[in-house]
Each structure stands twice: as structure tokens, then as C-alpha cells.
Homo-oligomer: A and B are copies of this chain.
Amino acid sequence: MRGRVKITDIATELGVSPSTVSRALSNGGRISQQTRQAVLDLAEKWGYKPNPFAVNLLKKQSRNIGLILPEFTHHYFSKVLDGVNRVVNEHGYHLFINTHEGDYHKEVKAVNMLNNMRVDGIIASYARGTSDFNHFLDAIEDNVPVVFVDRMCEDLDTSYVVTDDFPGSVESVRHLVNTGCQKIVHIAGPENLSTSFNRLTGYKEGLKQEGVLVQDKYILKSEDPNWKESLEFLIAENDVDAITCFTDYLAFEAVEILKRYGKSVPNDVSVVGFADEPVATYMTPALTTVVQPAEAMGRRAAELLLWHIENPDSPEVHSECLPTAMIERGSTLQTRPQRSFDELISVLKSAS
């Protein structure tokens, strides 16, 4: 059989009506065992596959879902994508993707495109600057559920999955104190980001829990063009035991500076990053960091979305904060047996 075989091809070959073929294939209504078998055999032999456009048109759903991320090349987002892709596949859905690259207008276009494509649902990590969410609202009003990942929107009553950066941040600071560090610097991120705020708050809380005074001179801001000079000053004064950073990249820069000043990591100064980018594994020494369960976030977001798709009338929304956890590597001193990678995974899994 050349070309795509359709239901009517099978019907005419077998001398039955298309409806009979359809019923035989879909295990539906009343049909004799022989007819069904004959249809099944021929469909198998000819490799019949239903035309999704016809089915979608009729059923008013596509089993397609759309994912919008800032970009793909950032390792973190590629892992989110991976998680989403896995779950979506496991459930027989298909994945449309798009990026907005931090551009609000591209984001609007992407959301509208997916909505016009009649996807069954959308997972999105919106652009930092987005404050007008009407494009998402349009989709929701067209009964296309939206789940946010990594970034949430207070104004919209949708499900979302974010990370709780707080516990990992607390854990890392406590670990530093427990390995004998007292003069602990934090290099903070942009002020308006909630993640940045949470990591800073976790740093303060960790110190408090260990009874160490929080001091302003130890809190550097990566947005401040002079943060490196401030750090160098502290290093020169020997006024630093450890550095915790908003990202692994900042940690990388801190390590470079420490090396320039002849400091050994971790013997003179411990360093902790945040995010578990590949850079963390491959710098020397390997970086102790706080891992965000990126893939689990993608998975959870997809699971939540599928739940919404299958329960279209439920007004419930589910919000999840997946916890972060410290992973110990060579850039900090060691006190206790290291948590194995498998243990870590199981911690993150049980959390999700």
C-alpha cells in the first residue's frame, strides 16, 4: 500500500463501511469477532495510523502541549526541558517548544502561537520583565491551562512549581560554620529577584541558627560594579573564611580572585556556589554548591499540567516549592561523611 492508508481504504478493501473499521479499531461498539480481526489484521499489515488532524478536529483536543522557556542553552533550563519532555512522553503527549529570550514581545507571540495551535496546555517560565499577563489570561479563558515553572505569577490563579532556595542556602552556611568558618561572605544577586532575596535570607538565617553575627560588610552585591574590589579588600585583610554566592558563575569568579591572592581553596577560604551548573563540577577544586532539582521541576510542572488537562473543570490549583539541597565537593572543608549522589537524588525525589 503506497502512501498513507486511511480508514476508507481498509473499508473498501474489506467491503465494509468506514464506521465499522473505526469501531473495530477503537474497540468501541458492537462488532463481530471476525470482522474486528480482519480489520485489525489489515490495519496492521498496511500500517494504518489515524490522521491526527481529523481526530483533533473532532475531539477538540490534540494531546499536544507547549513549553516556553527563556532559552535552551542554559544548562538549568535544558534540564527543565528534559523533565517536561520525559513526563509528557510517558503520557502519550507531544511537546511544542519555544523561547522568549527574556523579551516580553516574543513571550506574547509564543503564548499566542501555542494557543492558536490549540495545544491542550502550556508550561511557561516567563520573561523577567513581564508584568502584563493578559496573553496567559487569554489562553486560560480559552480553556488552555497554564502552569508556571521556575517563576510564579502572584496575580494569576494558576498552578506553579518553583524552588525553595531557602533551605539549601541555610544548610550551606551552617555547614561552613560547622567546618570552622566564621567570617562568611555572601555575594548576592539582583535585588528584585525573589530567588536572590531567598538565598540572601537563607544566608542570614544560617548564621543566626549557628549563633554567628550577621555583618553588612560581608554582604556583597554582584550588581555593584565594585564588588570584586570589596572582596579583594576583605581577602587582603584576611577577613574572610568562606564565600557563598548567588550563582556558580560568581563562585567561579571568586575562586579566580582567591587564586590571584595566593589563597588556597578550601584550606584558606571555602567557596559555595548555587545551581549546580556543569561549571561547578569542572572547576578546580570542584565546587560545593546548592542543587536545584531542575529536572524534577520540569517533571512536576508537566504532571500538574496533565492533571489540569484531565480535570478541566476543577478550580483547584497546586503550588509546589521543591527544596534545594547542598552537594558537598572539594571547595569546602569536610566534617562528616559525604552524602552520596544516590542519596541526594532520593532526597530530591522524595521531596517532589
Could you tell me which A residues sit within 8 Å of B by CB distance?
3-4, 47, 49, 51-54, 56-57, 62, 64, 71-73, 75, 78-79, 81-82, 85, 89, 94-99, 113, 115-118, 138, 142, 252, 259, 277-279, 281-284
Which one of B52, B96, B142 contacts A118 once the chains associate, using CB atoms below 8 Å? B52
Q: Which residue of B lies closest to A89 (CB)?
A: B98
Task: Collect the chain B residues with CB atoms within 8 Å of residue A71's CB.
Answer: 82
| Distance between Cα atoms of A3 and B89 in the complex (Å) | 29
Which one, B56, B73, B283, contacts A82 given CB within 8 A? B73
State the CA gap A51–B277 with chains docked (Å): 41
* Structural contact, A97 and B78, CB atoms closer than 8 A: no
A53-B118, A283-B284 given as contacts; is B73 within 8 A of A98 (CB)?
Answer: no
Residues of B within 8 A of A51 (CB): 57, 118
Whether the Cβ atoms of A85 and B57 lie closer than 8 Å is no
Contacts of A72 in B (CB 8 A): 72, 78-79, 81-82, 85
A75–B82 Cα distance when bound, in Å, is 13
Cα(A51)–Cα(B259), bound, Å: 60
Contacts of A142 in B (CB 8 A): 3-4
| Complex interface: chain B residues within 8 A of A49 (CB) | 115-116
Assembly of this chain: how many copies? 2
Contacts of A252 in B (CB 8 A): 282
Quick check: B98 and A96 within 8 Å, CB to CB?
no
Q: How far is the CA of A278 from the CA of B95 in the complex (A)?
A: 27
Sample of 12 further A-B pairs with CB below 8 A, known A73-B75, A89-B98: A49-B116, A53-B56, A53-B57, A53-B118, A72-B72, A94-B113, A95-B97, A259-B284, A277-B278, A278-B282, A282-B283, A283-B284
4 residue pairs, one from A and one from B, having the closest CB atoms: A53-B57, A279-B282, A53-B56, A49-B116
Query: What are 13 sample pairs from A and B whose C-beta atoms fall under 8 A apart?
Result: A49-B115, A51-B118, A52-B117, A64-B96, A72-B78, A75-B75, A75-B278, A78-B78, A94-B117, A96-B96, A278-B282, A279-B279, A283-B283
- Expressed in whole angstroms, the Cα–Cα distance for A142 and B51 within the complex equals 13
User: B residues within 8 A CB of A99?
Assistant: 82, 85
Q: Which residue of B lies closest to A255 (CB)?
A: B284
In contact, A95 and B94 (Cβ under 8 angstroms): no
Taken together as a complex, chains A and B put the C-alpha atoms of A49 and B281 apart, in Å, by 48
Q: Which residues of B lie under 8 Å from residue A115 when comparing CB positions?
A: 49
With a cutoff of 8 Å between Cβ atoms, the chain B residues found around residue A47 in the complex are: 138
- Contact A97:B75 (CB < 8 A) given known A51-B57, A53-B57, A62-B53: no
C-alpha gap A85/B79 in the complex (Å):
17
**Complex-state Cα separation, A49 to B115, whole angstroms:** 10
Chain B residues whose C-beta falls within 8 Å of the C-beta of A57 in the assembled complex: 51, 53-54, 57
Bound-complex Cα distance A252 to B284 (A) = 10
Residues from chain B with a CB closer than 8 A to the CB of A117 are 52, 94
